[in-house]
Amino acid sequence: MADPIPEAAIRAIVEAGRRMAERNWVPATAGNISVRLPGGRIAITRSGFHKAHLDSGAVMAVGLDGRPENPALRPSAETGLHCGAYRAFPEVGAVVHGHSIANTVLSRRAGESIGLAGYELLKAFPGLPTHDAAIELPVLDNDQDIARLQAAVEARWARMAAPILPGYLIRGHGVYVWGPDMDAALARLEGLEFMLACEMANLSINPLPGGSAP
Q: Indicate the residue among 39 and 210 with the shorter CB distance to a copy of itself.
A: 210
Using CB under 8 A as the binding rule, whether residue 112 contacts a copy of itself is answered as no
Using CB under 8 A as the binding rule, whether residue 119 contacts a copy of itself is answered as yes
Residues 6+ apart with CB under 8 A from 145: none
Residues 6+ apart with CB under 8 A from 148: none
171, 140 contact by CB (below 8 A): yes
Torsion angle, CA of 169/102/193/25, rounded to 10 degrees? -90
Using CB under 8 A as the binding rule, whether residue 190 contacts a copy of itself is answered as yes
Number of H helices, E strands in the chain: 5, 8
Using CB under 8 A as the binding rule, whether residue 41 contacts a copy of itself is answered as no
Q: Indicate the residue among 44 and 61 with the shorter CB distance to a copy of itself.
A: 44
Q: How far is the CB of 158 from a copy of itself (least distance, A)?
A: 25
Q: How far apart are CA 34 and CA 123, in angstroms?
A: 24
Q: How far is the CB of 75 from a copy of itself (least distance, A)?
A: 16
Query: Which chain residues interact with a copy of itself by CB under 8 A?
Result: 23-24, 27-30, 50, 99, 101-102, 104-105, 108-109, 118-121, 124, 129-132, 142, 144, 170-174, 183, 187-188, 190-191, 193-194, 197-198, 200-207, 214
